[in-house]
Amino acid sequence: MSLQGLPTLSFEEGYTQLFGDNNLMLLRDGKTVHISLDKRTGAGFASQDLYLHGFFSASIKLPADYAAGVVVAFYMSNGDVFEKTHDELDFEFLGNVRGREWRVQTNVYGNGSTGVGREERYGLWFDPTEDFHHYSILWSHDRIIFYIDEVPIREVVRTQVMGGDFPSKPMSLYATIWDGSNWATSGGRYKVNYKYAPYVAEFANLILHGCSVDPTDHSSTCDKFDANRYNTIKISSDQRSVMENYRRKYMTYSYCYDGVRYAKPPPECSIDHHEAERLQGRHRRGRGRHRNPQDAAAI
């Protein structure tokens, strides 16, 4: 299966607004979505369907100028269906003070395992506020791959030691913007400054290419061939070389090397001592939530 040339959807074809009232705007016949944060509220939208595996992507342009405390999230979750045993796959974009770059964080939760956050944090090789860039999640039975501009930046392979912590239940796709002043920038040192509001995140090229499921009994609409085709996508040797180079150059945090949180690394971690030496001492816990708490009931 090729990931090139997959069809994009308009907002009405695949999504629904979660919260934010007029802070969500549709442009270009619904092919572009603007969600904004002001002092009153953030905004968010979600896929109309639940999916069990697939390829999920959007082109995103982040707010420019001073964006400390602002969090833009593009993620999959089933927390509204499985409150105590939810799964989650995250891209979180963390704003910064003027002159400092946005950072991106990925995370994986499975079966309610929020006590074991699997965060990684990275810099970017471009300014994400100047133009749109593609952010994608491949989720199959066997692996999860996070991509930026078609470059794989992280792979999580299903293993026996991860057990139920590997996401395995149907999830919806979400996009939100919200106030993360209490943690997002330097551990909460820099807050959202609403003098610069509204903060606008732009989404385009929306792709929902997966196995949708019936929300009542979670039966899949995919036949066996369709369901298996996502498992055929692997990282090539050339892609792996690019991914490893990106991680060496831009990864600034990995839960596997956080000795403060974990006296012993979680069992799926494969420790690279050169990487450990580079990353240790830079760690700060980066977990967050994906929506303004006052709007949580809207989901």
Active-site positions read: 88, 92
Nearest to 177 by CA among 23, 17, 33, 43: 43
Q: Rounded distance, CA 280 to CA 272, Å? A: 12
User: Which pair of tokens denotes residue 125?
Assistant: 């090789």
Question: Quick one: how far is CA 160 from the chain centroid?
Answer: 24
Question: Quick one: how far is CA 28 from the chain centroid?
Answer: 25
| Contact between 243 and 143 (Cβ < 8 Å) | no
Which residue carries 């996401």 as its tokens?
167
Q: Rounded distance, CA 185 to CA 288, Å? A: 11
Give the contacts of 81 (CB within 8 A, at least 6 positions apart): 50, 169, 170, 215
| Contact between 226 and 237 (Cβ < 8 Å) | no
The phi, psi pair for 267, rounded to 5°, reads: -60, -25
Nearest to 75 by CA among 48, 49, 105: 105
Helix, strand and coil content of the chain, in percent to the nearest 5, comes to 20, 35, 45
Helix (H, G, I), strand (E, B) or coil at 198: coil
Helix ranges restricted to H, the chain: 11-14, 224-229, 237-250, 273-279
Q: Rounded distance, CA 160 to CA 244, Å? A: 24
